[in-house]
Amino acid sequence: MKALVIAQLTFREGLRKKLVLGVVLLSLIFAALYVWGFHLFVQDWRAMEARRQAQGATTILPYEVFASAMVLLGLWTVNFLAGVMTIFAAVGTIASEIEQGTLHAIVP
């Protein structure tokens, strides 16, 4: 129960500092760029397959393997960006706690 209260207060502080808005905005930008990049990947893949079939060559790896690699790359990027945003959010919070003197009461 106490953890939910702390989570609620943290979320409110994020709203107050406009951190949540920044995270949502950056997430939408990343999603749009990822979808656009994946679309370009599919177009290139189809063009490459058409050229290879015209030359009579076989495919090296199936489309699913490359698509899975792209999805895993996107998930890794999301994980990395979440970690970086968490670090920046924590640094700002700790700095403001030090300035206000709240941290001096907690840490002897």
Query: Per the domain annotation, does 10 fall within a domain?
Result: no
What would the pLDDT profile of 2-27 be if each residue is shown by its tens digit?
888 887 887 787 778 787 788 889 88
- Report percent pLDDT > 70 for the chain: 95
What's the mean pLDDT when you consider all of the chain? Answer: 83
Query: Per the domain annotation, does 35 fall within a domain?
Result: yes
Domains: count for the chain: 1
Torsion of CA 5, 7, 13, 16, to 10 degrees: -100
The whole-angstrom separation of Cα 73 and Cα 67 is 10
Domain that holds residue 86: 25-106
Query: Per the domain annotation, does 99 fall within a domain?
Result: yes
Query: Per the domain annotation, does 61 fall within a domain?
Result: yes
pLDDT of residue 37 exceeding 70, the answer is yes
DSSP state, residue 61: S
Residue 29: what pLDDT?
A: 93
What would the pLDDT profile of 55-98 be if each residue is shown by its tens digit?
887 777 788 888 888 889 889 988 998 888 888 777 777 777 77
Query: Per the domain annotation, does 1 fall within a domain?
Result: no
28-38 average pLDDT score: 92
Query: Per the domain annotation, does 5 fall within a domain?
Result: no
